[in-house]
Amino acid sequence: MSILVIAEHHNGQLAESTAHVVAAAQAIGGDIEILVAGESVAGVAESAAKLTGVSKVRVADDGVYAHQLAEPTAELIAGLADDYSHVLAAASTQGKNVMPRVAALKDVAALSEVIGVESPDTFLRPIYAGNAIATVQSSDALKVITVRTTAFDAVDATGSAEVESVNATVENTLSQFVSEELASSDRPELGSARVVVSGGRGMGNGENFKLLDGIADKLGAAIGASRAAVDAGFVPNDMQVGQTGKIVAPELYIAVGISGAIQHLAGMKDAKVIVAINKDEEAPIFQVADYGLVGDLFEVLPELESKL
């Protein structure tokens, strides 16, 4: 049994998520190889080769894979897939974009957001916004899977896999990259941060999100937001935590001015410790919070910052 892990990378850097996907591959068991597809990705391949448990890194370095558009990337992966029993990628926007396309090209089902491995053909995945966990078994010869990275601990970087290039030519006449607009941030990445501080509609406006900065700095935290805060235009949408945003499972999640709607809880209820700060003591967030503080966030936040 051989498993192909699709590396995620941005700006020539291997994404942290890949080490989590390799851990999921180890839970399935078998020979693990990584595919790095992109343009000028030698450095990414080098980092991928160090991940523990990986036997080989295959590199498809070509302009057609720049920005990893779904059409050429899926065609490349589908072309290589016959050598493997499983193809895995992170359940990031990149993985979710490409992997179902791969599955359909191979005429097999795709399994999304896998959070547990029972056996090489049986997996756990959340449904209904995480309010139920389904155990699903696939009898397809090829399993195409996206992995919820927060459900698997990252592997270390103690390996030294061989790196070889893939000689496959793919053409793309369907899509073209036009532009990209990335939010700049010096803070840890939301998906992998150890601590997340999130604000909701209760923050009142975008300016008030600055109240979270000092606390985030002291705790080395990423800053998130509820959908209400995003929809109100307080912060950009890539900060959204929830069913339709990012799924996080940090050690500490601090929810400030967030009521705790089902769709928000779906994104953070697997945090180890949840703290809720809200002036409404009936807010549903208190039902999942380990520590709740009923109070006005405009008084509580400065005090909290000074006492950390």
Partner 1 sequence: MKVLVAVKRVIDYNVKIRVKADHSDVDLTNVKMAMNPFCEIAVEEAVRLKEKGIASEIVAVTVGPKAAQEQLRTALALGADRAIHVATDERVESLAVAKLLKRVADEEQPQLVILGKQAIDTDNNQTGQMLAALTGWGQGTFASKVDVKDGTVDVTREIDGGLQTVALKLPAVVTTDLRLNEPRYAKLPDIMKAKKKPLDTKTPEELGVDIASKVTQLQVETPAERKGGIKVGSVDELVDKLKNEAKVIS
Q: Taking the complex as a whole, how short is the minimal distance between the CB of residue 255 and partner 1, in angstroms?
A: 12
- Write the binding mask 9 to 28 for partner 1: x where contact by CB under 8 A, - elsewhere: -x------------------
CA angle (169, 172, 174) in 5-degree steps? 160
Between 178 and 207, whose beta carbon lies closer to partner 1?
A: 178
- Write the binding mask 235 to 254 for partner 1: x where contact by CB under 8 A, - elsewhere: -xxx----xx-x----xx--
Q: Does 156 bind partner 1 (CB under 8 A)?
A: no
Q: Pick out residues in 91-150 that bind partner 1 (CB under 8 A).
A: 92-94, 96-105, 107-113, 122, 126-140
* List 29, 83, 153, 177, residue binding partner 1 (CB under 8 A): 177
d(CA 143, CA 264): 30
The closest of 261, 255, 126 to 195, measured between CA atoms, is 255
Between 36 and 54, whose beta carbon lies closer to partner 1?
A: 36
Q: How far is CA 189 from CA 118, 195, 239, 258, in A?
A: 29, 10, 10, 21
Q: Taking the complex as a whole, how short is the minimal distance between the CB of residue 163 and partner 1, in angstroms?
A: 26
Q: Taking the complex as a whole, how short is the minimal distance between the CB of residue 56 and partner 1, in angstroms?
A: 27
d(CA 221, CA 252): 9
* List 37, 275, 283, 297, residue binding partner 1 (CB under 8 A): 275
Helix (H, G, I), strand (E, B) or coil at 155: coil
Q: Taking the complex as a whole, how short is the minimal distance between the CB of residue 161 and partner 1, in angstroms?
A: 26
Q: Taking the complex as a whole, how short is the minimal distance between the CB of residue 160 and partner 1, in angstroms?
A: 29
Between 42 and 134, whose beta carbon lies closer to partner 1?
A: 134
* List 14, 227, 241, 264, residue binding partner 1 (CB under 8 A): 227
Owner of token pair 């990209």:
180
* List 82, 167, 178, 282, residue binding partner 1 (CB under 8 A): 178
Q: Taking the complex as a whole, how short is the minimal distance between the CB of residue 164 and partner 1, in angstroms?
A: 27
Q: How far is CA 301 from CA 186, 205, 210, 290, in A?
A: 21, 15, 10, 18
* List 84, 147, 286, 297, residue binding partner 1 (CB under 8 A): 286
CA angle (295, 277, 307) in 5-degree steps? 85
Q: Does 35 bind partner 1 (CB under 8 A)?
A: no
Size of the site for partner 1 (CB under 8 A): 89
* Two structure tokens written together for 115: 């959070």
Q: Taking the complex as a whole, how short is the minimal distance between the CB of residue 137 and partner 1, in angstroms?
A: 5
Between 208 and 260, whose beta carbon lies closer to partner 1?
A: 260
Q: Taking the complex as a whole, how short is the minimal distance between the CB of residue 55 and partner 1, in angstroms?
A: 28
105 exposure class (CB count in 10 Å sphere: 0-12, 13-18, 19+): middle
d(CA 217, CA 223): 10
153 exposure class (CB count in 10 Å sphere: 0-12, 13-18, 19+): exposed
**Under a CB-based contact definition with an 8 Å cutoff, are residues 257 and 203 in contact?**
yes
Q: Which residues pair with 117 in a beta bridge?
A: 123
